[in-house]
Structure 1
Amino acid sequence: MASPEFRIERAGPGDLRELHELEVKCFGKDAYSKATLRFLLTDSRCISFKAVMDDGSLAGFIIGRLENIGGKTVGRIYTINVDPRFRRIGIAKALMKKIEAEFAAWGCVEIILEVAVDNRPALELYKSLGFKFTRLLKDYYGPGRHAYEAKKLLSESIIRSR
């Protein structure tokens, strides 16, 4: 049986309700609030994409932001979500590659994200995409709930693609 088909599109404020529902479905009590997602979707420094199945169902989304850290432009991933019904068909990887290309187009030299130390699928995805786990962030998600900071130099991927 063939994998279901999906497409990547820009996400925006009009998608807020659906994106927030998926954020809650994926992250539960750790989900970003609707107000935070609204801010991110309307911030001119944010970049957001959604994955939509051929039947119109929201399958996933990603939100990142252009930031200046130490005088260099970096892309920070704030959230990536894939509906459990549509996992393991390449949606997260497609969303990451799309936002990476957008960050590169904006002149970002690096992508930064945080990921829970026990989120094995995400850790494997980021490693497969060339991210390096640079430090442990103790209690990042609350007492006893640690994260890794992960970074990827974009210059490496841009050079490889030429």
Structure 2
Amino acid sequence: MTWQLRRAEAGDLEAIMRLETSIFANDAWSGGTMRNELANVNAWYLVAFRPETPESIEAYAGLLAPRGAKEADIQTIAVAEGSRRGGLGRTLILSLVNEARKRGAEEVFLEVRADNAGAQALYRSLGFEDLAVRENYYQPDGVDAIVMRLAVPPRRSTFTAPEDGA
């Protein structure tokens, strides 16, 4: 499946909120909270869509990373059920980590529901490590959050100098 990513805009709020409320039924953010996130100069949100249907947002993800801060936080990530298991979540997380690196972050943190084994496996496969547990974090369900941390890897260059010095 081919996906296209772009920075989220205020005009994406309605589509983002449709996903937010359908995926996070009991603990969805309010429209006002999401609007504030999209407008925050220290935040960076992405939306994902199929190139042939750019009006249909299938996923979004957000990062809080003030420029020059050593720490960044992945605020949220959501992928529509019909678009899961194809690498889109991984692509979004890697894009957020790359943006955190550009902004100077050395560590990226996130919280994940203790009952979301699939997301935990994805984050661990990307190098995130369990750091702590926040009991009863997700309300009203009373589900614990696992706090995870990633030491931001240095940027890898794909350029290699010729061996003969030419």
Confirm or deny that 1:158 pairs with 2:154: yes
Query: Which residue is 1:34 aligned to?
Result: 31
Which residues of structure 1 form unaligned runs of 5+?
Answer: none
The change in CA–CA distance for 1:8 and 1:145 in structure 2 (over 3 A counts) is: same
Q: How many residues align?
A: 154
Q: Provide the rounded CA distance (Å) in 2 between the counterparts of 1:144 and 1:97.
A: 29
Query: Which residue is 2:132 aligned to?
Result: 135
Q: Provide the rounded CA distance (Å) in 2 between the counterparts of 1:77 and 1:24.
A: 19
> Residue 29 of structure 2: SS of its match in structure 1?
coil
Q: Provide the rounded CA distance (Å) in 2 between the counterparts of 1:10 and 1:67.
A: 16
> Residue 70 of structure 2: SS of its match in structure 1?
strand
Deviation at 1:73, TM superposition (A): 2.5
Query: Which residue is 2:113 aligned to?
Result: 116
Query: Which residue is 1:90 aligned to?
Result: 87
* 1:3-42 C-alpha deviation (Å, 9 max, x unpaired): x211111112110000011111111121111000000000
Q: Provide the rounded CA distance (Å) in 1 between the counterparts of 2:91 and 2:19.
A: 17
| Structure 1 residues 39-118: aligned runs within 5 Å | 39-54=36-51, 55-56=53-54, 57-66=56-65, 72-118=69-115
Q: Provide the rounded CA distance (Å) in 2 between the counterparts of 1:53 and 1:89.
A: 13
* 1:60-115 C-alpha deviation (Å, 9 max, x unpaired): 000111159xx953111111000001001111000011111111000011101100
Structure number having the greater helix percentage? 1
Contact persistence 1:67–1:76 (CA under 8 A):
no
Per the normalisation by structure 2, the TM-score is 0.87
Which AA in structure 2 matches 1:120? A
Contact persistence 1:22–1:83 (CA under 8 A):
yes
Per the normalisation by structure 1, the TM-score is 0.89
Which AA in structure 2 matches 1:148? I
Deviation at 1:151, TM superposition (A): 0.4
Q: Which has the larger radius of gyration?
A: 2
Which residues of structure 2 form unaligned runs of 5+?
Answer: 158-166
